[in-house]
Structure 1
């Protein structure tokens, strides 16, 4: 595996984007809206004044939403060029933060686990930080899904060498249960990841230009103006079929993303009859 310096090189400006933006303004607004919808689904799991930790928080959108709603929320992220300053976002590894035991009601780990050199160590630390009954929301690309199987080496979410691990549902469940979590919910659809993942994977297979459209959306177009126009035209032509395919995969339980809600068992004794 890459060492610390090599890892830093994988997460430079080309990965995170410049300043507070990774994509164009329209796409950033869409991502913010989808993050808000995710927050609305997570909020009921936090009690009044609950504490939330978002690991891999990016620019802190979810942390900001939680704090605006009156919760105590913190984020962790790798330091990157133009990283925004916030007293609630720490640019450190989880184990370096020294949070107290049983400190959080909820932890979010969206599209992070596959990037970690030692995922089990991180999950063990999360388990320690959660209060009994606390929950972990984890999402990873679905290596066992239809999108991954059909795309092979052209799969957008393969993302080598940044993704050290690829998870299928049984492996992810076994990993979480081995640390002490119980699985309460499972889903295989993340609309923004699966729709775009299907689209870019198809384009990789057709045009043989690995993730060129993704680079175009990030403001790193490359190639001639004609090549860029071809990429855009191909994306427009495939957009609706890709959406239909992503939704159909999810209906069959074969979607491009695994999203699990795992819980740390409560210490409450089981009820007994009198």
Structure 2
């Protein structure tokens, strides 16, 4: 630990003697002494281990559930602004923006404008952009006859809930961050403050449950997934998105990879460990998706961290270097190496 890094209080640490996903005790040290290089608000230096069986990564020791909130003092979910896939700036970007809207309006029942209806035919010719547009809508299934209910766990400012509501879904959110909950409620959304325990009295009431960059933050991911399964109706869909510890970015940047986000990311999944967690929780019919354009938001911050600079706001300003474009092509063809594990599963 460097002289400038204050330790996390010993009384607020807990040991993790075995893998939180599969229970295996065999492991190897992946990185030692990681610090909060993303938001620079959390104390401590942390060791990340890789499970010898399912290849997930996990912190040991790690903050206790009672103390972890200190690592979220200025987290991004407080921001009420939603960020489009393509900003409407300049002729080309404005054209792509309107094509995306046209595609999403047709595919998911949105009413976004301005929109070009030919996007429904043209966007599939642009695989990266189409898959990014699908991921923004979290690959929503068709709206059930008579309506459907969605729960977004870790809903943040409610951006996705607003989108799903526009598509005709009855929406509900959940977040432990009081600032995020306040931001979402200010938009007229029904959002609960706390963890999934606030829904203990419910079961079998949601058609879809989504978790976007949530599962890596929880102390017991398998138990969380099991509880979410009980909240789904029979045949209901769970959709989740999480950083991939086996991704091209993780391999390229190592301890500087943006996806580590120590100590908020307690468990980092590989394709094998993600499948293990979902099947142990009782889910079936797993399906993986490619997000498209995802690594462009990860490589630039990772490069900044490697240079000792702030990761916040780092980007290539819409002009990624050629090697990042080539990495995007490689990611498309190698599902196990994609920057994020984006999957759906059924109850």
Shift of the 173–8 alpha-carbon distance from structure 1 to 2, 3 Å rule, reads same
Pairwise CA distance, 1:39? 5.6
Shift of the 70–22 alpha-carbon distance from structure 1 to 2, 3 Å rule, reads closer
Shift of the 192–90 alpha-carbon distance from structure 1 to 2, 3 Å rule, reads farther
Matched with 1:3 is 64
Q: What do the CA deviations read for 1:124-147 (whole angstroms, capped 9, x no partner)?
A: 111101111111111111101221
Matched, 1:163 2:265: yes
Q: Check the 8 A contact 1:177/1:183 in 2, yes or no.
A: no
SS of the counterpart of 2:168? coil
SS of the counterpart of 2:197? helix
Shift of the 125–45 alpha-carbon distance from structure 1 to 2, 3 Å rule, reads farther
Q: What do the CA deviations read for 1:149-179 (whole angstroms, capped 9, x no partner)?
A: 2211011101100000011111110110011
Shift of the 28–113 alpha-carbon distance from structure 1 to 2, 3 Å rule, reads farther
Matched with 1:146 is 248
Q: Quick check: which one's helix share is greater?
A: 1
Pairwise CA distance, 1:37? 4.2
Pairwise CA distance, 1:107? 0.6
TM-score, normalising length: structure 2 = 0.61
Instruction: State the alpha-carbon separation in 2 of the partners of residues 170 and 22 from structure 1.
Output: 32
TM-score, normalising length: structure 1 = 0.76
Instruction: State the alpha-carbon separation in 2 of the partners of residues 69 and 23 from structure 1.
Output: 18
Moved more, 249-258 or 114-123: 249-258
Pairwise CA distance, 1:17? 6.4
Paired residues in the alignment total 241
Matched with 1:125 is 227
Q: Which runs of 5+ in 2 are unaligned?
A: 1-61, 90-96, 102-128
Q: Check the 8 A contact 1:184/1:261 in 2, yes or no.
A: yes
Matched, 1:251 2:311: no
SS of the counterpart of 1:180? coil
Pairwise CA distance, 1:247? 3.4
Q: Which runs of 5+ in 1 are unaligned?
A: 218-230, 265-274
Shift of the 148–240 alpha-carbon distance from structure 1 to 2, 3 Å rule, reads same
Matched, 1:43 2:140: yes
SS of the counterpart of 1:81? helix
SS of the counterpart of 1:47? coil
1:1-274 correspondence to structure 2 within 5 Å? 1-4=62-65, 6-13=67-74, 15-16=75-76, 19-21=79-81, 37-38=134-135, 40=137, 42-48=139-145, 49-81=147-179, 83-84=182-183, 85=185, 86-98=188-200, 100-187=202-289, 189-205=290-306, 207-209=307-309, 212=310, 214-215=311-312, 217=313, 238-253=320-335, 254-264=337-347
Instruction: State the alpha-carbon separation in 1 of the partners of residues 66 and 273 from structure 2.
Output: 30
SS of the counterpart of 2:155? coil
